[in-house]
Structure 1
């Protein structure tokens, strides 16, 4: 194939009648797209392998639903005694756990009468670790380590920490290791999504992105199955069953997955960029990867601009409209995150089988993803998010007010489904509200707000073991109130994407003047 270097013949009638040759250089994106646009089986295999990181990420995110659950118990003496209702008000000899004490950290370390802050501490510190890791590790995938190495390192550290967690001897050691695990997994989802989509052409990026969400759902769904098969066994076994395979997966990632060619080029690693692009490109497209092509890379390099999270944040804070958009979305994300992470953790407090209720919640993530995938072009962003937040809030509050258990689980499922759908829409809405130069940083901050909401969820769940409204009631009120902030944001359905701050501001002026920008 000839070297792609399109030429345009233009006639300048104002100066001369002779034709003038003007070279229109293809962009780096256009040239890479020409090479890897057709998704071959090797690209699909690598994208799928990368997306499986979401599977193990989901397991570690929700594993405390089972390991930190308060086991059921029964009175061993005078079972008809009406005083045998509060485990903390009767002697230790008068009651027993229904299962062996080692099935949960609550029973093994005798935390049944500890305060909600103590029992919810490990899960809260996990999300606090996610929050810290998101800030500290945010720029490494774009700067020194790259997408692949950051993903491998995060996955491996999360897995090894999980193995060490199984060796914990007390609550404080367990809590510290959960913090490290959350810190390590903070960038797994972002790195997996970015790397998998950068290895395929634009036509396939949406499909590849959905693979990651499906893998997260399957990982969440696998937890109740593993927990059911190991019921009666030590909670430590659940960590081993989920983390040991993840260690081997991390090693496979390192040897079988390639780095993003665009990142390699930006970092000036020409040989690796050339080798990776040639290996990904179809045989019929490799002829375009000539010395002339790589020579033009020098011209492209001058046009590329690197921005990290911190420089982009400075830009977001300087522009009042960007600051208000970001602040509003982070408030919405906080409310959605509290109910998204909190509801699965609180299932043990409902009068329903824990394994089935967790499985049903996990299954709901799949139709939520499919709903967004097929209807995203027709959904009004702001009012869809507002409606879902209000529906989730109303169902969550009603869930603790009714007494019929089948109605409770039904309302809980509706509330969780609405929260999951709102979560997906909030991320898409964030992509559309900000220009390319700050888009990645804006999404990162909104995701951090979602995780921040998850920090408070475990403590509320632990407190709700004595007062049910302190979990689902607070979740519902929070997501409904926070969802109201989306009403102050502009609608983005059908509008064009902008690349720079100036373009976004010009578009805002155009919209405010009533001109269609579609």
Structure 2
């Protein structure tokens, strides 16, 4: 709604401060999401009797002193468990995205994000002291739940504060700390060669987020959407003062808006509201599929091309750097291109690159094509975060992003199995990865355009989006 940004500004000093404290949590998310690389790195071992498997193997600890593989003997018939623990973690992220997304629409952005941050700190630290594989895996699942919540709520809170003209750039910058955390993991892994110390270190770093308890604000959009006008007015007055803007008209303008939208604002949203009406049902189903494909291709192809170097630290830095480049390249593209145009073009480029891998000799060319595919896939990920937040109304926005993030986790859980299709033919995995972005591009044609549109507040506004594009408020109209 234009009212809020007219009263508190589109992007002032308060917005800059809020952006900083929200982006900090994505750095920790990147550390935890990619930590399995150094918790369970490739491990060499020998048996005293020179057999392939035995009960008392001798591990090569030259590079890593202790890993979950050496600690719990996850080799031979139990080697699948090292991948299973990451699958369970991603399942936790899936559950967290859905639960916290719905909870934040009902109980508020501030309360649920603080709860997720406290949960992340506690479960991360506890995981570093657990004595057996199953307790470690279960606690990491709860860690994943908290990570899913942090990812969803932080993004929505930021988008609900900034003005429409700044959402595109901030949606891209939102992913920069994640990629920096991914890259920084190589530094943690290089200096900390014991998995318990590594898990503890990346968890202690995240404890800085506990300052949210004291300073994290609520979303004024959410407060107005659930009829808490007095709290919204007090919050907007505080933000306006921080941004050196007048506060005299805030109570009057807010009350007038609430009276004009009295009938629409009486109802709180739920996940079911996303599926009750035809336009929103179509939009959420297509958007969820887009997120699934993004995660499926990003994690799967990154795994598939992991052989580009034998040095694990170089590999982590390289893959993180590709994603980081996507963040910065996407900023001007998001600013000047329509959301739908950019998603379709990037999906088509990703599909072409990935399918071509099946028809070129393995080596430098296939690696370059794979990295290019990851580049465009991550760019789509950046855009759909913004696209999704703009497409669905305030009362169900977090629920929508929660569902989509949940589907993204499904994609990341499937990806390793698809990457493992190599024994059935070197063409199998590239084609299996490349065909789905093509399908996504076609489905995206059915979605409404949201560039320069004000965020919808009610279910009615969300259903009308795309049905009558002329009703949307553009930036030009906002400035007049």
**1:251 Cα deviation after fit:** 1.7
Q: 2:431 aligns with which of 469, 474, 477?
A: 477
C-alpha distance in 2, partners of 1:471/1:167? 42
> Which structure carries more helix by proportion?
2
- Closer, same or farther: CA 440–389 of 1 in aligned 2, 3 Å: farther
1:312 aligns with 2:267: no
Q: TM-score, normalised by structure 2?
A: 0.82
Deviation at 1:358, TM superposition (A): 0.9
Q: 1:34 to 1:204 in 2, by over 3 A?
A: same
In the TM superposition, residue 274 of structure 1 has moved relative to its aligned partner by 3.1
Q: What is aligned with 1:148?
A: 110
Report the CA distance between 1:259 and its aligned residue: 1.6
Following TM superposition, by how much is the alpha carbon of 1:195 offset from its aligned partner in structure 2, in angstroms? 1.6
Task: List gaps (5 residues or longer) in structure 1.
Answer: 1-28, 78-83, 509-518
Aligned to 1:257: 216
1:221 aligned counterpart, secondary structure:
helix
1:390 has 2:345 as partner: no
**Number of the residue aligned with 1:39:** 11
8 Å Cα contact 1:46/1:196 also seen in 2: yes
Aligned equivalent of 2:129, options 156, 167, 171: 167
Structure-2 residue corresponding to 1:371 = 329
Choose which of 318, 330, 339 in structure 2 pairs with 1:360. 318
Contact 1:332 1:482 in 2 (8 A): no
1:128 shift after superposition: 0.9
CA distance in 2, matches of 1:235, 1:448: 28
Correspondence 1:135 to 2:90: no
Greater Cα offset, 94-103 or 305-314: 94-103
1:109-163 CA-partner distances (Å, limit 9, x unpaired)? 111213554221110011111112222222211111x112211211221121111
Q: Which moved more, 1:342-351 or 1:271-280?
A: 342-351
Deviations 1:47-87 (A, max 9, x none): 2111211111111111111102222446889xxxxxx7xxx
Q: Secondary structure at the match of 2:466?
A: helix
Distance 1:117 1:94 in 2: 17
1:266: how far off? 3.3
Once residues 282 and 363 of structure 1 are traced to their aligned partners in structure 2, the CA distance between those partners, rounded to angstroms, is 39
Cα shift at 1:36: 1.5
Q: CA deviation at 1:38?
A: 5.2
Change (3 A) 1:207 1:89: same
Aligned to 2:157: 195
Contact in 2 for aligned 1:65/1:345 (Cα 8 Å): no
Aligned to 1:234: 194
User: CA offsets, 1:428-485, max 9 Å, x none?
Assistant: 5556777888766554433322111112335566xx4xx7558996653333222232
Corresponding position of 1:66: 38
Q: What is the CA distance between 1:495 and its match in structure 2?
A: 7.8
Question: Does structure 2 retain, via aligned residues, the 8 Å contact 1:43–1:200?
Answer: yes
Bigger mean CA offset, 161-170 vs 96-105: 96-105
- What is the rounded CA distance, in whole Å, between the counterparts of 1:236 and 1:202 in structure 2? 44
C-alpha contact (below 8 Å) 2:297/2:377 kept by paired residues: yes
The superposition leaves residues 481-518 of structure 1 with CA deviations (integer Å, 9 ceiling, x where unpaired) of 2223232442656988583434634569xxxxxxxxxx
- Any residues of structure 2 matched to 1:49-128 within 5 Å, and which? 49-73=21-45, 89=52, 96-99=59-62, 102-115=65-78, 117-128=80-91
Q: In structure 2, do the counterparts of structure 1 residues 391 and 430 end up closer, same or farther at CA, with 3 Å as the change threshold?
A: farther
Q: Distance in 2 between matches of 1:253 and 1:126?
A: 24
* Partner-residue secondary structure (3-state), 1:111: coil
Number of residue pairs matched by the alignment = 457
- The 3-state SS of whatever aligns with 2:174 is helix
Deviation at residue 40 of structure 1 after TM alignment: 3.0
Q: Among 278, 288, 300, which residue is 2:248 paired with?
A: 288
Equivalent residue for 2:473? none
Cα displacement (A) at 1:107: 1.6
The structure with more radius of gyration: 1
485-494 or 157-166, which deviates more: 485-494
Checking the alignment, whether the CA contact within 8 Å between 2:91 and 2:141 is kept in structure 1 is yes
Tell me if structure 2 keeps the 8 A contact 1:344–1:358: no
Return the structure number with greater relative CO, CA threshold 8 A, min gap 6: 2
What's the offset of the Cα at 1:43? 2.9
1:296-346 superposed Cα distances (whole Å, 9 cap, x missing partner): 365156142555342323325xx2x65555444444433331232234556
Cα distance change of structure 1 residues 113 and 421 upon mapping to structure 2, 3 Å threshold: same
User: In 1, are the aligned partners of 2:346 and 2:376 still within 8 Å (CA)?
Assistant: no
Cα distance between partner residues in 1 of 2:450 and 2:234: 39
8 Å contact from structure 2 (residues 280, 462) kept in 1 = no
- Label 1:273 to 1:327 Cα distance change in 2 as closer, same or farther (>3 A): closer
Offset of residue 246 of structure 1: 1.0
